[in-house]
Amino acid sequence: ETGVTQTPRHLVMGMTNKKSLKCEQHLGHNAMYWYKQSAKKPLELMFVYSLEERVENNSVPSRFSPECPNSSHLFLHLHTLQPEDSALYLCASSPAQGSEQYFGPGTRLTVT
């Protein structure tokens, strides 16, 4: 499989649940990103990993916890979410931080 993949594609969870989003890139890139895309809002950059180290955390609430075990995989662990966290979560990768990014299809998250 090529490109950037994300699982699951759709997720419905209650406010007390714990779940994880997974992203995998097959492009040999060194940087990976999590974005949140809500209706009628611009793309929000959440986290940046470069060479498996977190280099940016844009004031994201602690109920979102990223993990990058290697350069090909990125996770977003979710717990005690709020309804306003419902959104499309996009993962991206790039050859290096600050170069063109390639996106996965996203996970549509609904918090009930």
Measured from the CB atom, the residue of 29 and 85 that comes closer to another protein is 29
Measured from the CB atom, the residue of 6 and 64 that comes closer to another protein is 6
Pairing type for strands 107-111 and 10-13 reads parallel
Note whether 111 and 86 are within 8 A (CB). Answer: yes
Beta bridge partners of 32: 49, 93
Measured from the CB atom, the residue of 15 and 55 that comes closer to another protein is 55
The H-or-E segment that residue 70 falls in is strand 64-70
Measured from the CB atom, the residue of 16 and 53 that comes closer to another protein is 53
Query: Taking the complex as a whole, how short is the minimal distance between the CB of residue 63 and another protein, in angstroms?
Result: 23
Between CA 45 and CA 48 the distance in angstroms is 8
| Binding positions for another protein, rule: CB under 8 A | 4, 6, 33, 42-43, 45, 48, 50, 55-56, 88, 90, 92, 95-106, 108
Query: Taking the complex as a whole, how short is the minimal distance between the CB of residue 83 and another protein, in angstroms?
Result: 20
Query: Taking the complex as a whole, how short is the minimal distance between the CB of residue 55 and another protein, in angstroms?
Result: 7
Between CA 56 and CA 44 the distance in angstroms is 13
Query: Taking the complex as a whole, how short is the minimal distance between the CB of residue 78 and another protein, in angstroms?
Result: 19
Indicate the residue type of 39: A
